[in-house]
Amino acid sequence: MSEFENEGFFQSNYYDNQSYGYDPNAEAQFGQEPQFGQFNYNQGGYAGGSAYGVAADQSMYTGSILTPSPIAVQEKHDTGTDHYEDEPPLMEELGINFDHIVQKTLAVLNPMKSADHSIMQDTDLAGPLVFCMAFGATLLLSGKLHFGYIYGIGLVGCLAMYCLLNLMSLNGVTSGIIISVLGYCLLPMVFLSFLSAVLTLTGIFGLVLVSLTVLWCSISASKLFVSALAMDSQQLLVAYPCALVYGVFALLTVF
């Protein structure tokens, strides 16, 4: 031992208390035994010492690196990071508004009632997707697997109406409004395809029923387009191309 002491390896001033962050006053300051070399997460150094030139800051962690201080817990509580009361509902984040879906559906079922301009600006696609799936499902009752035709005709019809209404409207139109309106107004065609499973639509009665359904769809679609795009006194001009689109869907239902 004397040999090592002569070499200076175990001299008291070689490893002093301050070089490794040992603070004898930590017990009096923080109410517990002083720890040797405790890491301070807030300052990136060791608490209780000044070996790295960092002051002891116990605002984040005190005593042990696994025990958060009351100050840090209060700051997290104030910022609201551990609460979800202010989070919006899931349906709102997905862009699905059931109130607008119901209002648009009622506007289609009653073509003589004027539609609200505000709800038409909500270009949701939940309703059109449901009605397209329902139309294809009711055609399955007659043994017709026409899902590909429905989506194909719907895509061509939306593109045609988009080009036409952009020429007719002064403010222009978005593709979301086109898809939403044409999809919602497909609801009467769902009723027709359901009746085709129990009735024959190739006679005079079927011809009248199909004509009324196409007229119903076209009037509802033109009313919604006029309301959404502020196209006053142009409903008849918009109803004609809509009747052509829904007439193709009617042919799928009859034949």
How large a percentage of the chain has pLDDT more than 70? 62
Q: Are residues 55 and 24 in the same domain?
A: yes
Q: Are residues 198 and 132 in the same domain?
A: yes
Of the candidates 233, 230, 223, 119, which has an alpha carbon nearest to the alpha carbon of residue 172?
Answer: 230
> Which residues, including other chains, have CB under 8 Å from residue 241's CB and lie 6 or more apart?
160, 161, 164
Q: Does residue 84 form part of some domain? A: no
**Reported confidence tier of residue 20, pLDDT bands at 50, 70, 90:** very low
Q: Are residues 70 and 95 in the same domain?
A: no
Q: Containing domain of residue 233, as a range? A: 91-254
First to last CA, the chain: 106
Using one digit for the tens of pLDDT, what is the confidence trace for 23-52? 555 444 544 444 444 444 444 444 444 444
Q: Are residues 97 and 154 in the same domain?
A: yes
Annotate 54-111 with DSSP letters as a single string: -----SSB-SSTTSB-HHHHHHHHHHTTT--TTSPPHHHHTT--HHHHHHHHHHHH-T
Q: Does residue 85 form part of some domain? A: no
Q: Are residues 21 and 98 in the same domain?
A: no
Q: Are residues 197 and 240 in the same domain?
A: yes
**Reported confidence tier of residue 95, pLDDT bands at 50, 70, 90:** low
**Reported confidence tier of residue 99, pLDDT bands at 50, 70, 90:** confident
List the single range of 17-26, 134-143, 147-156, 225-234 with lowest mean pLDDT.
17-26
Q: Are residues 69 and 172 in the same domain?
A: no
Number of domains in the chain: 2
Q: Are residues 120 and 31 in the same domain?
A: no
Q: Are residues 68 and 119 in the same domain?
A: no
Average pLDDT of the residues in 97-124: 81
Q: Are residues 100 and 209 in the same domain?
A: yes
Using one digit for the tens of pLDDT, what is the confidence trace for 55-74? 444 444 444 445 555 555 55
Average pLDDT of the residues in 76-86: 54
Round the average pLDDT of the chain to a whole number and report it.
Answer: 75
